[in-house]
Structure 1
Amino acid sequence: MSRLLHLTHRHFHRHICDQSLISVSWNIALSCSKVFHFSKRAKSKLSIPSSLLGEKNIVLLGAPGAGKTTVAVLVGQITGLPVIDVNEVLEKTWHMSVAQKLQEVGEELFLQEEGQILQELSTARSIISLTGSNPMHRCSMQHMKKNGIVVYLDVPLEDVQQRLEGMNVDHIVGLGPSVSIQEMFQYWRQFYHQWYDVRVLCQAGDTAEAVAEKVLDVIKWYQDSNSGTFTSTRSVAKDSEFRRAPSFFTDVVIEGLPLDGGLYVPASQLPELTAGEWQRLAGAPYSERAQVLFEKCIHPNDVLAADLREMVVKAYGQNFSCNRIAPVRHLSGCQFLLELFHGPTASFKDFALQMLPQLFAYCMPRTCNYLILVSTSGDTGSAVLDGFFCLSDADKQRIAVLAFFPEEGISQIWKAQMISYTAENIKAVGVKSDFDFCRRTVKEIFTNPDYTGFLTVEYGTALCHADSTNWACLLPQVVYHASTYLDLINQGVITFGDAIDVCIPTGNFSNILTAVYAKCMGIPIRKIICALTQNNTLTDFIKTGKYDVRRRSMTASLSPTLDVLKSSSVERYLHLVSRGDGQLVSKLFSQLEEQCHFQVPDILLRRIQHHFVSDWCSEEECLAAIYSVYRSTGYILNVHTAGAKVVADRLHDGACPVVIVSTAHPCTSAAAVLQALRINEISHHPTDQLQMLNSLNPVPAIHKAVTERLAKLHTQESQVCPADPSDMMDTIERFLQQNFMKVA
């Protein structure tokens, strides 16, 4: 769906401001502004054609002390556009100062009269500096958004306080002896967050000149119709007549995969944050870190900032059992654990799949139904079922989810979680084969135009992806890698700029790829340690540059979610390190599909080894690590994390902290954990296993959401399908018949 069409059926802010709430009104007097003399270099960089705006205004929003008026004057000087200071408009209309008016009429009437004047302001192609209290008046802000691009100057509290200390602040509504600037600042932010189109994340000590530069940069980005577009990893050279037109984020979320068999990646580099911007985020809660990074990577023409914030709050709120969402825990020595299992299904996949369903429902065209079809080795299936289960009833009438999993090659906890979902539009089906067969068959179904066309014609239904092949699943994972580094700063382990290493248990390569993306965005990750099971194709690839599965067969391990021979996200990584060489990527993966192997050029191997080292862990070593860590610290690792610790012990040189990524709660591999802890007579029933684990008073504590989910299991059994593509397609059609009426 094109971005233009996307905008025609959306978006007006859903938030309603309570006009009776206490707010602030403040004017930064122009007499206090400094006159800045721009160098030729700065003028060249800051210059912007006024025609870029059309008839739009640039509207600067922010707290008192944010420097809105000063920056507005500078932007006006650069662009040649007139500057309107709303404070001056108010005083000319009232024939008195803002402070006098506030004292005369009181706060509530002041807000109403101020909003009415702003609502009647009619101008075009101007720079408008709002007051601090304007965002509290709903109708006037709707008027501003209709006629302008609202830019939020997100200035650090410390800078605001410093600027206000020596200035007259007798006309800030609600500020008094019992209310601090900090309390007012936090109160105002909720209103600012409702209205802005783009944010300027200001660093501590930024000059007005620097902020003006950032304002013009975000305006250019906002107005550029090709910003935030995507291309395929197999896209040919830019000057080729066969090159496909770029896709927008909304297209990528719904389509999942491009038609050429590749994977979607951003058409330009991921945005790199400065050290100051990262340091701004260090003190922010997890949801705000996610919001800022999503805003940097998702164009506001695709998802409005206010709507994105609503999704982020839902995704990373009460559904996570830890309010830090992705806490970092010291293990021993220079080793730290990133706990990614506090979501509703106890897996790192919750970070992506609490967010993706909301994005999907937001972006989907209203012209047909959608079947989310996934293959899973356990963690993806549980997370995708839960994520789509939490959508509104209206959205669930248009969306169904079907997950295929290997009937025997899966953790009993994952299996029990999946089959416990009994909603009509959500189902998990076992297949009498391994995960590679499930994944290969699902991919063949997606690329079978006769079958997908049949589903469209008969049921008005399109097939869609909701796993790591969908780009929207990767962005949330970038956030937690960045957040880890910021938490280590907060804990005093490092200061910004210090390097860390990261060790990640790896199957499909998506989690480890997103650590590379976090590094590209400015997080100082030195080495990424790739930890595997005995299905160690990736270890050989990282050491030799040869990806070869010709003489390999899948060996079931204690970590079935890591048992992958062909890791699909490697394709995105090779596109990155080959500097976007789609022709090379297409050649390599065509060879992998046809001949089951490829060898990367030496230059790519050197770049790969610059990012990665890799090794694998045997089952005996994994179980021994679980027992050893429990005896020495009282902490229980799950099998994936234990394998990663073994590899980290082997490969990490101790020169910097290493973060071992704990991708699942130990209860998800309860049977193996109990075996490692040398518990005799382990029950085969998942609920009994959790009770046995809980009897050890474990750290981390038993996962409450998983326990509650398994309590709903009762006696239902999973549907089982033969390892035959035609049977799987029949299963899909029967499922659609239950959910969607045939097209007349």
Structure 2
Amino acid sequence: MSIYYKSTRGGQSDMSCSQAIVKGLADDGGLFVPSDIPKIDLPFEKLAKMKYTELAFYIIQKFFPEIDNLKECIESAYDEKFDSKDKVELVERCGVSFLELYHGPTAAFKDMALSLLPYLLTSSAKKSSIDKDIVILAATSGDTGKAALAGFAGVEGTKIVVFFPNDGVSAIQKMQMVTQSESNTCVIGIDGNFDDAQTGVKNIFADNELKEKLSENGFMLSSANSINIGRLVPQIVYYVYSYVKLLSQGKVKDGEKVNFVVPTGNFGNILAGYYAMNMGIPVNKLICASNENNVLFDFISTGVYDRKRELVKTNSPSMDILVSSNLERLLYHLSGGNSGEVKKFMDKLSSEGSYSVGQDIKNKLSLFYGGFTSEDQTLETIKYAYENCSYLMDTHTAVAYKVYEDYKKSTGDDTYTVIASTASPFKFTKSVSTAIGMDADEDEFQLMYELSKESSVKVPYGLDGIEKKEIVHKTTCGKQSMENVLSDFLGVK
């Protein structure tokens, strides 16, 4: 089956995977989706015997068949940078399995895709005979930024510019970004929230005059956010991996359905689970866990997406998002590929701040369950898991576990469940330390070591000693000045 990529808004089609990866965002502002979602065509039993890298090659090459050196890209991406031999860990505690996705270099699940994206991008650029430097733009609510910086730092022919909300990330997340030293990196704190950063990046992509000017100066733009299909596809792998691993452990039988619980703000991580299901992984429910910024909960419950609300700063900051970009891809699939309808939704979101889907899409949303937690409930959940299950989790994973507990209570569903554990507890030390009863008055960096001593869990090697690194990036800007800062960094007037 030949596969090609098209825009969710209908403006572009018949793009090769290389073209879609390099462009990142379609010219009409839409996101690239595959013409078909390929199927798993090997027995699960055979997949269960594969190493993570072998399984990644099997899944990803179905979406990106023209990346000639894909195997080499995967082997280079998932190397000794990961402190787990299996790259991810599946740990059974509290009656569920936690899929630990934070064993990469930046201690967050974004490493699972962003370690690979630079290789996919440079291979795609070569395939497409692109002779310009590729400028990666990323907006981050905390984790994408550092993972993208770590992936692209020093990669020849690329530059990377990361925008983050100056007061909207943890001290450790911020330190991870502003200490990145390679000359092809640029990190900017904006006076605004993540949605402002994400909107600013999308506006830059939509500015044809700027893109023309950049092109004349030897640059082209691409994205490291999950709007890039090259970022989304590698995330499908760990859902397949977790299912076949459960099978080999005897936790489920071949063909038996499972639930996946995913803490998500931008909807990319849970969308990868939806793709895995469409490839053939048996899924009962995809449980979408939100914090007090519960726009996704409202949408799943009512079919109305409404971003007209105050963004709440919470102790799970990576989900402090009101505009979930990847939901656009889901709408495309649930509408049967109706790009005209999707464009209407997105135009309404832009102009009016909300949209409402019809009954057909609402019916199909029944695959999903939405829930949300308060900050206090998040801390109580961390305490409960630590004291009753000897399991230390971060705030985002706690949001997911609490939403799962609520779901189970309200439905009685006892389907075996996997919870995506998306970040190391050491990235959010103040919240985690407070939750388990420690004195959290010290700064976040010192607390890492205190928390390690208390819990007997090692500080991830990517965070160990980070407080001693030199701060390289000190630029901040208003949300209206992002384009100017980008032009200054590239030396384009």
After TM superposition, the score normalised by the length of structure 2 is 0.96
2:395 corresponds to which residue? 639
Deviation at 1:580, TM superposition (A): 0.6
User: Which of 94, 110, 114 is the matching residue for 1:353?
Assistant: 114
2:281 pairs with 516, 523, 535, which one?
523
List per-residue Cα deviations over 1:132-153 (Å, max 9, x = no partner).
xxxxxxxxxxxxxxxxxxxxxx
1:390 and 1:337, CA in 2 relative to 1: closer, same or farther beyond 3 A? farther
Residues 533, 559 of structure 1: 8 Å contact kept? yes
User: What does residue 105 of structure 2 align with?
Assistant: 344
Q: Rate the CA distance shift 1:705–1:722 in 2: closer, same or farther, 3 A.
A: closer
CA distance, structure 1, for counterparts of residue 135 and residue 271 of structure 2:
27
- Residue number in structure 2 paired with 1:257: 25
Is 1:734 the counterpart of 2:488? The answer is yes
**2:158 alignment partner in structure 1:** 399
Aligned pairs for 1:449-488 (under 5 A) are: 449-457=208-216, 459-488=217-246
Residue 48 (structure 1) aligns with:
none
The residue aligned with 2:81 is 319
Structure 2 residue corresponding to 1:508, chosen from 252, 260, 266: 266
Does the 8 Å contact 2:257/2:283 carry over to 1? yes
Q: Which residue is equivalent to 1:720? A: 475
Q: CA deviation at 1:633?
A: 2.3
Q: Is the 8 A contact 2:440 2:447 kept in 1?
A: no
Alignment of 1:317-716 (within 5 A): 317-333=79-95, 335-364=96-125, 365-389=129-153, 391=155, 395=156, 398-457=157-216, 459-550=217-308, 552-609=309-366, 611-652=367-408, 653-684=412-443, 686-699=444-457, 701-708=458-465, 710=466, 713-714=469-470, 716=471
Q: What is the rounded CA distance, in whole Å, between the counterparts of 2:12 and 2:50 in structure 1?
A: 40
Residue type matched to 2:58 in 1?
V
Name the SS of the counterpart of 1:730 in structure 2.
helix
Once the two structures are TM-superposed, the CA of residue 317 in structure 1 deviates from its matched residue by 1.8
Instruction: Quickly say closer, same or farther: Cα 1:326–1:285, change in 2 above 3 A.
Output: same
Task: Tell me which amino acid in the other structure corresponds to 1:606.
Answer: N
- The superposition leaves residues 360-414 of structure 1 with CA deviations (integer Å, 9 ceiling, x where unpaired) of 11111342112111111110001000011263xxx2xx21111011111111111
Task: Count the aligned residue pairs.
Answer: 487
Whether the 8 Å contact between 1:430 and 1:718 is mirrored in structure 2 is: no
CA distance in 1, matches of 2:130, 2:29: 26
Bigger-Rg structure (1/2):
1
Q: How does 1:46-445 map to 2 (within 5 A)?
A: 221=1, 227-235=2-10, 244-267=12-35, 269-274=36-41, 276-299=42-65, 302-304=66-68, 307-333=69-95, 335-364=96-125, 365-389=129-153, 391=155, 395=156, 398-445=157-204
Contact 1:504 / 1:512 at 8 angstroms: preserved in 2? yes
**Residue-by-residue CA offset, 1:214-270 (whole Å, 9 max, x unaligned):** xxxxxxx4xxxxx221111111xxxxxxx6441000101110111111110011x21
* Distance in 1 of aligned mates of 2:103 and 2:393: 14
**2: distance between equivalents of 1:728 and 1:521?**
39
Deviation at 1:452, TM superposition (A): 2.0
One-letter identity of the residue aligned with 2:381: A
Q: What is the distance in 2 between the residues matched to 1:354 and 1:479?
A: 14
Where do 5+ consecutive residues of structure 2 fail to align? none
SS in 1 for 2:243: helix
Structure with higher RCO (Cα < 8 A, 6+ apart) = 2
Q: Judge conservation of contact 1:231–1:266 (CA < 8 Å) in 2.
A: yes
- Structure 1 residues 698 and 638 mapped into 2: Cα distance closer, same or farther (>3 Å)? farther
Counterpart CA distance in 1 for 2:30 and 2:130 is: 26
C-alpha separation in 2, matches of 1:616 and 1:681? 25
| Shift, 1:427, TM fit | 2.1
The residue type paired with residue 231 of structure 1 is K
- Give the CA deviation at 1:449: 1.3
Instruction: Report the residue type matching 1:315 in the other structure.
Output: A
Kindly state the Cα deviation for residue 717 of structure 1 after the two structures are TM-superposed. 6.2
Aligned partner letter, 1:256: G
Counterparts in 2 of 1:643 and 1:698: CA distance versus 1, 3 Å: farther
Q: Give the secondary-structure state (helix, strand or coil) at the position aligned to 1:336.
A: strand
TM-score by length of 1: 0.64
1:339 CA displacement: 0.2
Q: CA deviation at 1:711?
A: 5.1
SS in structure 2 of the partner of residue 553 of structure 1: coil
Runs of at least 5 residues in structure 1 that lack an aligned partner in the other structure = 1-220, 222-226, 236-242
Contact 2:240 2:276 in 1 (8 A): yes
User: Amino acid of the residue matched to residue 475 of structure 2?
Assistant: V
For residues 385 and 467 of structure 2, the distance between their equivalents in structure 1, rounded to whole angstroms, comes to 30
Residues 432 and 720 in structure 1, CA contact (< 8 A), matched pair in contact too: no
C-alpha distance in 2 between matches for 1:310 and 1:717:
32
How far apart, in 1, do the equivalents of 2:158 and 2:360 lie? 45
Q: Decide whether the 8 Å contact of 2:289 with 2:372 is kept in 1.
A: yes
On the 8 A contact 1:345/1:383 being kept in 2, the answer is yes
Taking a change above 3 Å as real, the CA distance of residues 420 and 232 of structure 1, as seen in their structure-2 partners, is same
Change (3 A) 1:478 1:681: closer
8 Å CA contact 2:188–2:477 kept in 1: the answer is no
**Alpha-carbon distance between aligned partners in 1 of 2:475 and 2:456, rounded to the nearest angstrom:** 35
Change over 3 Å in CA distance of 1:390–1:348 after alignment to 2: farther
Q: 1-side partners of 2:123 and 2:468: how far apart? A: 30
What letter is aligned with 1:378?
G
